[in-house]
Copies of this chain bind each other. A is one copy, B any other.
Amino acid sequence: MLEFCLVGAGFIGPVHAANLATHPVARLRWIVDLDVAAAEVLAAKHGARATANLDDALADAAVGAVLICTPPRTHAGIIERAARAGKAVFCEKPVDLDLRRVDECAKVLDAARTPFHVGFNRRYDPSHRALFDALRAGEIGRPEMLVLTSRDPEISPPDYVAAMPYGIFYDTMIHDFDMVRWLLADEPVEVIARTSCMLGEKDNPHRDPDTAMVLLRMAGGALVHINSSFRAVYGYDQRIEAFGEKGMLISRNRQPTTLERYGADGIRSDGLLRFFIERYAESYVRELDDFIRALADRRLPSMGLEDGPRARVFADAGGPSARSGEPVILR
């Protein structure tokens, strides 16, 4: 059994806690949260111990791994403390918005020689993964075009938006940038972005772009299109399409039920799953399982610290391209 310390009882924390509860070789031992009452509620449910003090848990020799799902600005510090305590670390993305801070973290992790996994959960979606496998198996030959649709049902919280201009590239498209790198095993040489503000003042008071299209040219020659919006009223729209010399692969959306209603006005079915918690529920399970297996097999976790900054490069090019109207050439 691998004993976990979960840091952050809110939001995605209970999802990870439940996934640990049903994992065959993992167990939740500590819940750490400054809001100790929240930690206690979750701990009681899972027979774990609660504390507001991370050191309590890090001092516990039985703890083998730390799972971090606190707000992003606290990630780097917790990673470093966990690494210094010799624990394996699984951290939700991003490590930090400041790339220098990420570098510092990397040094601590290297020095501690501790396994580290950054959470880009979409790579574990069964449909996206099946597309990846089919690509790698050569089913469509060389990929020539990639089209990603990535639309959220709502805009990021105002404090996110205020913290980072062109947040649509950092909050949402960052996942797509990671998908592009992962699917094509290639890096971009050119980023072209165009954005607009389509939401009203009420939904988007900061007037940061809420709609975006990106065109990428990859080193290997493939062309990539990504489009995003913060207002998909029909649910969380998450599609990937890869086109190649031998055909096309599409990872389509999912709906809550398969009910079809035939009436005098046509055929109706459900909208899409509402947001990432629903759509990527299986991804969280599989991602955590992959991390646990990596530790058990003494292999490197599938995604390391560097995957964040590498996807970040695309995002950092998006704002300048959209603002200047010019392509951003990389490398």
A229 pairs with B144, CB closer than 8 A: yes
Residues in B neighbouring A287, C-beta threshold 8 A: none
Cβ–Cβ contact B211 & A145, under 8 A = yes
The digit string for A248-279, where 1 denotes a CB below 8 A from any CB of B, is 11111111111111111111111110000000
- In Å, the complex CA distance between A96 and B45 comes to 35
The reply to whether the CB of A126 lies closer than 8 angstroms to some CB of chain B is: yes
- Is B196 a contact partner of A211 (Cβ separation < 8 A)? no
> Does A223 sit at the interface, judged by CB under 8 A?
yes
Instruction: Say yes or no: is A81 at the interface (Cβ < 8 Å to chain B).
Output: no
Shortest distance in angstroms between A331's beta carbon and chain B's nearest beta carbon?
14
Q: Are A271 and B260 in contact (CB under 8 A)?
A: no
Once the chains bind, are B145 and A259 in contact (CB under 8 Å)? no
Q: Whole-angstrom distance between the alpha carbons of A217 and B215 in the complex?
A: 13
**Docked CA distance A8–B186 (Å):** 49
Closest to A247 in B: B263
Alpha-carbon distance between A292 and B222 when the two chains are bound, in angstroms: 45
Copy number in the complex reads: 4
Whose C-beta in chain B lies nearest to the C-beta of A261? B249
Interface string of A77-88 (1 = CB under 8 A from B): 000000000000
- For chain A, the bracket of interface size reads 35 or more
Contact present for A247 and B223 (CB under 8 Å): no
Contact check, A139 vs B261: say whether CB atoms are below 8 A apart: yes
- The answer to whether A233 and B271 touch across the interface, beta carbons within 8 angstroms, is no
Chain A to chain B contacts (Cβ below 8 Å), 14 pairs: A18-B22, A127-B257, A198-B221, A213-B225, A223-B227, A232-B248, A233-B246, A233-B263, A234-B262, A234-B266, A237-B248, A246-B264, A248-B262, A252-B260
Known: A233-B264, A247-B261, A326-B327. 6 other contacts (CB 8 A): A192-B215, A212-B223, A233-B263, A234-B247, A251-B257, A265-B268
The 9 A-B pairs of least Cβ separation, nearest first, read A234-B262, A247-B263, A252-B258, A248-B262, A127-B257, A18-B22, A21-B21, A47-B47, A130-B259
Residues of A within 8 A of B (CB): 18, 21-22, 24, 27, 45-47, 126-127, 129-131, 134, 139-140, 142, 144-145, 147, 149, 151, 190, 192, 194, 196, 198, 211-213, 215, 217, 221, 223, 225, 227, 229, 231-234, 237, 243, 245-272, 325-327
